[in-house]
Amino acid sequence: MSPRRNHPKRSNRGGPGGTRPSDEEGDISRSFSTIEEHEEGFYTVRKITGSTSTKPYRCPGCDQLIPTATPHIVAWPHDDVDDRRHWHTRCWEKKDHRKPNVQRTRNAPKF
């Protein structure tokens, strides 16, 4: 038999408006983010652990898939949360030092 819960369940309502932000918006607003300066301007950067990554994303740096449960970076221009992108950690670190990106087709070799 499991022990009894002595604390009330959390309500599904959010703040004063009674609406709860979507999971991804809520994660961004409650997470620890840093601000970095790059050639294009200031970026808000957040490190994602493998346990919080629940779906695959495509990295804009190398155009490869970031598998589920892989630690990576989410970055967006400081003033535009809607433009956030998921990057491999190494791709983000080398962002300002890479040559212009040549887009490949999805079936092209990865080398």
Euclidean distance between the first and the last CA atom of the chain, given in angstroms as a whole number: 55
* Alpha-carbon span 47 to 51, nearest angstrom: 12
For the chain, give the mean pLDDT: 76
* Alpha-carbon span 11 to 60, nearest angstrom: 38
According to the model, what pLDDT value does residue 104 have?
62
User: Using CA atoms in the order 93, 73, 64, 53, what is the torsion angle rounded to 10 degrees?
Assistant: 160
According to the model, what pLDDT value does residue 90 have?
93
- pLDDT exceeds 90 at position 27: no
Model pLDDT for residues 37-73, shown as the tens digit of each residue: 988 889 999 999 888 888 899 999 888 999 999 999 9
Distances (CA, A) of 98 to 7, 20, 40, 63, 75: 52, 40, 14, 13, 17
Q: What angle do CA 40, 44, 50 make, to 5 degrees?
A: 120
